[in-house]
A = this chain, B = another copy of it.
């Protein structure tokens, strides 16, 4: 890192994750000397207010990123593959939110609360996990360290914004159609999401969704547990922001739920919200806008030896994406 006040660029700045990223840089007063915004030709020319002033969004071209010290990639994997190596070659660091480099052994895959120690292995590109794998590993890592993990089962309840602003906008439009008594339309996604639950919409890899494959592979990589047994089903629900998951964990040793609550309360990035009798548990509507992973419904799973069940919710645009990337950049500055 050439400077303690790096020149920063955000690629995909007008998307769901990119827009949140620009806001979070401001919230956290990230010490950038400059902040340039890039997007697809469709969004180029738009002006965005950032904490460093009113900025015109530009179309990404060949050499645009050459002068940047840190470039956040919040666009598609193809964009990252085309432009991140050039950033690294020019001496900058690409902090990539896309899936392009997550499974590249030469690129560290970082969740700061879990494996910040691997960040120094980077050679100009740092990958960020998928928006389910980030909160999942934040919850699992303390359990892994204290008890050992034998098997993890995950059913997700994923928000529309995880598929980009297109689906979030479409969910909003569908809500208005349903409220007006007319028939909602589906364009951004294969089916109407409002008033529905969709166990698909992702590209398939054999019988699994691409999302299921990613969650398993990335969780194993972040936890450095390459053979961890995992069973995952990913499902889209009619929520704008906030991914949730029902999780069952088979531990190597018996754990008391009270001890687990205490352990998680002391873990970074976690907020324990767990008093179901008082109707307190994690919910996307409550976690949206927050950077913590809310965890609750922590209890013994009587169906499994050393089994624990829990439920979490996290803001998929913040901690599941933008906040994680900004935290990575903060670590890069600190460890300079």
Contact = CB atoms under 8 A, between A and B. Distances in A.
Interface of A: 151-153, 155, 157, 175-176, 178-179, 190-192, 195-201, 204, 207-209, 229-233, 235, 237-240, 242, 244, 246, 248, 257, 276-277, 279, 281-286, 296-297, 299-304, 307, 309, 311, 313
18 contacts: A153-B248, A153-B303, A155-B233, A190-B279, A195-B238, A195-B284, A196-B239, A196-B283, A196-B284, A197-B244, A198-B281, A199-B283, A199-B297, A204-B276, A204-B277, A229-B303, A233-B246, A238-B239
A237 B304 contact: no
Contacts of A309: 231, 233
B191 A285 contact: yes
A156 to B, nearest CB: 9
Given A207-B257, A237-B157, A238-B238, A281 B231 contact: no
Contacts of A229: 303-304
A178 B174 CA distance: 12
Given A197-B313, A229-B303, 11 more contacts: A175-B175, A179-B179, A195-B238, A197-B239, A197-B242, A199-B276, A199-B283, A201-B279, A204-B276, A230-B303, A231-B248
A303 B244 contact: no
Contact of A157 (B209, B235, B282, B300): B235
A239 B195 contact: yes
Most chain-B CB neighbours within 10 Å: which of A197, A230, A303, A309?
A: A197
Contacts of A196: 239, 283-285
Contacts of A232: 303
A233 to B, nearest CB: 4
A272 to B, nearest CB: 14
Contacts of A197: 157, 237, 239, 242, 244, 283-284, 313
A335 to B, nearest CB: 35
Given A199-B311, A200-B281, A299 B208 contact: yes
B199 A246 contact: yes
Count identical subunits in the complex.
2
The 10 closest A-B pairs by CB, nearest first: A155-B155, A207-B299, A231-B303, A190-B279, A155-B246, A179-B179, A233-B246, A196-B285, A229-B303, A199-B311
A257 to B, nearest CB: 7
B282 A199 contact: yes
A89 to B, nearest CB: 38
A255 B248 CA distance: 23
Nearest to A178: B175
